[in-house]
Structure 1
Amino acid sequence: MGVTMLAGDTQELRKARGAFFTPDELCRYVVDWAIRDGSEDVLEPSCGEAAFLVAAAKRLDQLQVAEGGRLAGVELHAGSSAHAASLVRAAGRRAEITTADFFTVQPEPSFSAVVGNPPYVRYQDFAGEARALSQRAALAAGVPLTGLASSWAAFTVHSALFLRPGGRLGLVLPAELLTVNYAAPVRRFLLERFARVRLVLFTERVFPEVQEEVVLLLAEGYGQSPSGVCELHQVHNAESLARGMGVAHRWTPKPSSGKWTASMLSAEALKAFTSTTEDGDEFTTLEAWGDTTLGMVTGNNKYFTLTPARAKELRLPPRELLPISPPGSRHLRSLTFSGADWSRLGRDGAPTLLFRPAGKPSAAAAAYIAQGEVADVSSAYKCRVRKPWWRVPLVQPADLFLTYMNADAPRLCDNMRSAFHLNSVHGVYLKDEVRSLGKALLPLASLSSATLVGGETVGRAYGGGMLKLEPREADRLPLPSPALLNQAQPRLESVRPQLTALTQAGQLLDASRVVDDVLLRGELGMRPGEISLLREAHRTLMNRRKARGKS
């Protein structure tokens, strides 16, 4: 079914309200799944040109149902609303189309099925009254959404409220459902409100005119006993749906609101990952080892961080300077950050010192503070809200550094220099009983394929295809348990020189193979095929993230 441009409507207006043409194959598949015997009452919210309602009319003809259930739709745009009704009439059926903002429509829990393609408007463009209405609608279902949520999130929740007990929800959603933090309440809602949740993922883009990847959400048994399990299918494209999808693989997200990124893996790879990291006590999480926190926020790194040469030029006394890991994390891609590393960076012109007088500033420091006031550094938000503005709040030196913006994978690095750190890296503060073991071995052990896959599943893709980990996400990073590392310590120490050389040369995957040989094969007894599945899983997720970043 083609797209008709109505009078007064434009491509720009359609894009602004998130309206995109849905391929016939998707509409047909979702509607055939939702309509079983033709008696179902069906609602298409934000129906646009009634693609799903027209498919429903054809489905009723296929089932040879004369009357069938009620067909209804809601559409914001008046011209599209009238056109939608005419299209359903042309298909031989009648539909009740309401012209309204869907979020202002009071839920009527009488529909057997709600099907459609919710509008996709990113949070930057989803503001004002429209956002407020959507948040109130989601909150009515007990689902709080943050200001970062795009339009589809509240739309999914509000749609479900129109279902009668046992009803079915079939939606075309952005793949963000699987990965973004703001969708966590939506993921929890789906697993807690439906008896069965199925996802269909595509390896090829479904909407060529937009870059966003999509998934099919097929949830049924609204209000019935939830299983907490996702059933996952992968197909090539929309046309592949007609050829069937084979056997689904089942997965239980932990927690229910946690990211569903692992669902992008094959059934075999997912099984290898979960059996390694969740089914026994050999693996735990970073949170079990210690606390991960943000670093210091200066308010102006160019002013507060100094090279040794610049500090000497300003004649600042050592007592007013703190050793820091320079901004960024490129220098933390090896296993340790030593005093020698810190000194070398300083000699090379990196800002390895933090300006922070602890008491009354010296004459040299007072002169530098005056320079900052002339340059208006003191008026920056983080500076003007603290007293005095030039004293950066301290975060004590961490045991380990964790890189949180990564092109390849998150890295743990032993802070041997006991340097302070800024908010360009996270600090990991290990528990007393595992501090010595963790500092020595976690940077090595974190290179295993199991942890690399875990980084992709708990983190999120960022601009340019970067992998970002916030502290609460890092808490869930899978890592070997203290018991496993105690057992593996002699063998890990024996390969430390090799791993140091490989990581310094930027050969992450080669280093990972060495660690896999020690931990996964040597200690856990995993078969080569299982380890290969983990490596392939990491490549799949990393390449997918980078490909999305390029687009």
Structure 2
Amino acid sequence: MAHVSTPSVRGDDTAEQRKARGAFFTPSALCDYVVDWAIRSADDLVLEPSCGEAAFLVSAAQRLARLQAASASPAAGELHGVELHEDSATHALGVLRAAGHDARVRVDDFFTVEPHPVYDAVVGNPPYVRYQGFSGDNRTRARAAAMRAGVSLTGLASSWAAFVVHSALFLRPGGRLGLVLPAELLTVNYAAEVRRFLMERFRVVRLVLFTERVFPGVLEEVVLLLADGFDEGPTDHCELYQARNVADLPQAVGRLWRPVAPESKWTASLLSTDALATVERLTEHGQFGALLEWGETTLGMVTGNNRYFTMSPADAERHGIGEAELLRISPPGSRHLRKLTFSRAAWQRLGAADSGTYLFRPPGAPTPEAKQYIASGEAVDVHHAYKCRVRNPWWRVPLVPPADLFLTYMNADTPRLSTNRARVHHLNSVHGVYLRPELRTAGMDLLPIGSLNSMTLLSAETVGRAYGGGMLKIEPKEADLLPVPSSELLLSARSELMRAKPHLSRALANGRVTDAAEIVDEVLLVRRLGLKATEVAALREAHAELNARRVARGADPRRVR
């Protein structure tokens, strides 16, 4: 007999409400795959949190029945579920009852259910509710539930992250966790502590990746998390399986993969076997190293109000502000930094076109003209902006020295390095790279050229993060990890790279980044490092796939919210 426990009534549960809370129900073949892996004995105790319409409970009941018949054992497992909405729970129990299965379903908020570590397997498909719709008491309860396991989630975390952690706490030692999760598990910063938790607490962490969409009509990418041996960790690697679609799951072949650190992004796990092998070869043998080995990447100057503080030459003349009270800067934004070099001539052309090539920054007591400009800012409350009011005087922006290289950090295609030959300062719309003294000449001459290779372009997709509109954002700490050619490799190819520079400049001027990469690939990867055409092709294909994945996710309005 099926049972429903209802400590509180949640009211009607419509299809639209289920969609709003991210409750997309799982294909039966996918449930069977997860359940067949997770349930291994006829007497297993099984939990499905957020059980919805009991897709996993039905599959689990069938699995237990088969195991019991095969073992001829009198022992029988038990099925338990938790569901927020009573209507869904009642429907789920009706489905189970019609199929002749027994289960207990509790109607409650899963995050308020006290975890008792008794279950052999926890399986399910947690709701995918992004932080914009996951707020107030719901978020507070979720974060508190995760904190029971010592996992601190940020306010940007979606609902599934807390579900993973809280679900694991219901497992007995050695228990198994089988969940359908968004591929964000691999890629987003807020999941760092979830990744660390999984690798520290489980003996085996298996990820099953798909190249096609799993849910009809929903473009959210998913990954199967199959974690075995709770409280028998840690592990230093993941088992990666890749399938084309659900029907292809039985043919999926596994391989081992070690992330740089448990909490680091697992985006590299999305690479094909061939691409991953090539990446590992290039990094393990020292031909490529982190950008941090060349120097430090830092944020630019923060004004608090770029419109007020930046001036074109014409603006400065109109206000009577002389160069002694101005700082030469790269104008806000990074559109002008898509070439290999930012020259003094380029800076002058931008100023002539009325771009903000100066920063208002009197170094000492302001002149009468500067005082008048300061007063005009106070008249419109510029000094009340947070970054302004916390400094004294409010109108003196903290100085950051001119960088050797600029690194674009919001990118439709890929992050670009540009040599700062203009020797101007920069704002926080770009990053500055300060090269080590012994590498400064080589870095300024060669690194913007050498970084235009398929290995670095691919790696940018794995160390950066997808942002609104499909943009690729890279923060300084992420940039520090970006694999770029070693100084030895670039110096050995200096003459070839310098000869290629005019061709690269033309390609970049016409927006043909991939054409530029092909030129650099030929010099560095093929001629210098001896990569085979198939290995280079694997890098290019992987880069194109991750780039397309990012752009599609940013542009698609039907993603699960």
- What's the TM-score bracket when you normalise by the shorter of the two chains? over 0.9
Q: Is residue 260 of structure 2 the alignment partner of residue 254 of structure 1?
A: yes
Partner of 2:118: 110
Contact 2:312 / 2:358 at 8 angstroms: preserved in 1? Answer: yes
Partner of 1:68: 76
Aligned residue among 434, 459, 468 for 1:454: 459
Contact 1:335 / 1:444 at 8 angstroms: preserved in 2? Answer: yes
Partner of 1:264: 270
What is the root-mean-square deviation of aligned Cα atoms in Å? 1.8
Partner of 1:528: 533
- Partner Cα separation in structure 2 for residue 67 and residue 77 of structure 1: 32
CA positional deviation for 1:492: 2.0
Aligned residue among 111, 135, 140 for 1:127: 135
**What secondary structure does 1:27 align onto?**
helix
- Code of the residue aligned with 2:288 in structure 1: it is F
Q: Is residue 514 of structure 2 the alignment partner of residue 488 of structure 1?
A: no
Contact 2:142 / 2:162 at 8 angstroms: preserved in 1? Answer: yes
- Partner Cα separation in structure 1 for residue 545 and residue 23 of structure 2: 31
Aligned residue among 386, 389, 399 for 2:394: 389
CA positional deviation for 1:309: 1.2
Aligned residue among 37, 40, 56 for 1:33: 37
**What secondary structure does 1:248 align onto?**
strand
CA positional deviation for 1:55: 1.0
**What secondary structure does 1:327 align onto?**
coil
Partner of 2:5: none
- Code of the residue aligned with 1:119 in structure 2: it is P
The change in CA–CA distance for 1:8 and 1:417 in structure 2 (over 3 A counts) is: same
Q: Is residue 499 of structure 2 the alignment partner of residue 479 of structure 1?
A: no
- Code of the residue aligned with 2:513 in structure 1: it is L
Partner of 1:293: 298
The change in CA–CA distance for 1:37 and 1:420 in structure 2 (over 3 A counts) is: same
Q: How does 1:305-344 map to 2 (within 5 A)?
A: 305-344=310-349
- Partner Cα separation in structure 2 for residue 239 and residue 247 of structure 1: 14
CA positional deviation for 1:80: 2.5
Partner of 2:170: 162
Aligned residue among 144, 150, 153 for 1:142: 150
CA positional deviation for 1:119: 1.4
- Partner Cα separation in structure 1 for residue 500 and residue 277 of structure 2: 29
- Partner Cα separation in structure 2 for residue 255 and residue 524 of structure 1: 27
CA positional deviation for 1:198: 1.6
Contact 2:453 / 2:520 at 8 angstroms: preserved in 1? Answer: yes
Q: Is residue 473 of structure 2 the alignment partner of residue 465 of structure 1?
A: no
Aligned residue among 6, 10, 20 for 2:14: 10
Q: Is residue 288 of structure 2 the alignment partner of residue 280 of structure 1?
A: no
- Partner Cα separation in structure 1 for residue 102 and residue 506 of structure 2: 71
**What secondary structure does 2:131 align onto?**
coil
- Code of the residue aligned with 1:265 in structure 2: it is L
The change in CA–CA distance for 1:246 and 1:22 in structure 2 (over 3 A counts) is: closer
Aligned residue among 38, 51, 61 for 1:47: 51
Q: Is residue 365 of structure 2 the alignment partner of residue 357 of structure 1?
A: no
Contact 1:412 / 1:446 at 8 angstroms: preserved in 2? Answer: yes
Q: Over residues 9-68 of structure 1, what are the superposed CA-to-partner deviations in whole Å (9 max), with x where a residue is unaligned?
A: 223432343322222221121111112232211110111221111111122233354753
Q: Which segments of 5 or more consecutive residues in structure 1 lack a partner in the other structure? A: 1-5
- Partner Cα separation in structure 1 for residue 110 and residue 353 of structure 2: 59
- Partner Cα separation in structure 2 for residue 12 and residue 396 of structure 1: 54
**What secondary structure does 1:124 align onto?**
helix
The change in CA–CA distance for 1:384 and 1:11 in structure 2 (over 3 A counts) is: farther
- Partner Cα separation in structure 2 for residue 486 and residue 255 of structure 1: 31
CA positional deviation for 1:444: 0.9
Scaled by the length of structure 2, the TM-score of the pair is 0.93
Partner of 1:91: 99
Q: Is residue 199 of structure 2 the alignment partner of residue 184 of structure 1?
A: no
Aligned residue among 413, 421, 431 for 1:416: 421
Q: Over residues 446-488 of structure 1, what are the superposed CA-to-partner deviations in whole Å (9 max), with x where a residue is unaligned?
A: 1111100110000111111111101111111001122222322
Q: Over residues 109-144 of structure 1, what are the superposed CA-to-partner deviations in whole Å (9 max), with x where a residue is unaligned?
A: 111110001111111121222222222221221222
Contact 1:57 / 1:92 at 8 angstroms: preserved in 2? Answer: no
- Partner Cα separation in structure 2 for residue 431 and residue 142 of structure 1: 39
**What secondary structure does 2:29 align onto?**
helix
Q: Over residues 271-290 of structure 1, what are the superposed CA-to-partner deviations in whole Å (9 max), with x where a residue is unaligned?
A: 1122112x211211011221
- Code of the residue aligned with 1:204 in structure 2: it is E
CA positional deviation for 1:414: 0.8
- Partner Cα separation in structure 1 for residue 172 and residue 98 of structure 2: 29
Aligned residues: 543
- Partner Cα separation in structure 1 for residue 413 and residue 53 of structure 2: 43
Partner of 1:21: 25
Percent of pairs with identical residues: 61
- Partner Cα separation in structure 2 for residue 329 and residue 525 of structure 1: 35
CA positional deviation for 1:349: 1.8
- Partner Cα separation in structure 2 for residue 483 and residue 139 of structure 1: 47
Larger deviation, residues 196-205 vs 214-223: 196-205
CA positional deviation for 1:394: 1.5
Larger deviation, residues 369-378 vs 345-354: 369-378
Aligned residue among 434, 437, 450 for 1:432: 437
Q: Over residues 74-129 of structure 1, what are the superposed CA-to-partner deviations in whole Å (9 max), with x where a residue is unaligned?
A: 12223333333333233222212222221222221111110001111111121222
Contact 1:57 / 1:91 at 8 angstroms: preserved in 2? Answer: no
- Partner Cα separation in structure 1 for residue 187 and residue 90 of structure 2: 37
Partner of 2:237: 229
Larger deviation, residues 493-502 vs 432-441: 493-502
- Partner Cα separation in structure 2 for residue 340 and residue 443 of structure 1: 19
**What secondary structure does 1:197 align onto?**
strand
- Partner Cα separation in structure 2 for residue 470 and residue 245 of structure 1: 39
CA positional deviation for 1:209: 4.3
Aligned residue among 496, 502, 513 for 1:497: 502
Partner of 1:369: 374
**What secondary structure does 1:542 align onto?**
helix
Partner of 1:3: none
**What secondary structure does 2:517 align onto?**
helix
**What secondary structure does 1:495 align onto?**
helix
- Code of the residue aligned with 1:28 in structure 2: it is D
CA positional deviation for 1:550: 1.7
- Partner Cα separation in structure 1 for residue 165 and residue 371 of structure 2: 57
Contact 2:64 / 2:77 at 8 angstroms: preserved in 1? Answer: no
Q: How does 1:170-249 map to 2 (within 5 A)?
A: 170-241=178-249, 244-249=250-255
CA positional deviation for 1:431: 1.7
Larger deviation, residues 439-448 vs 218-227: 218-227
Contact 1:72 / 1:97 at 8 angstroms: preserved in 2? Answer: yes
Q: Over residues 272-325 of structure 1, what are the superposed CA-to-partner deviations in whole Å (9 max), with x where a residue is unaligned?
A: 122112x21121101122111111111111111111111111111111111111
Larger deviation, residues 94-103 vs 149-158: 94-103
Contact 2:338 / 2:416 at 8 angstroms: preserved in 1? Answer: yes
**What secondary structure does 2:341 align onto?**
coil
- Partner Cα separation in structure 1 for residue 12 and residue 510 of structure 2: 59
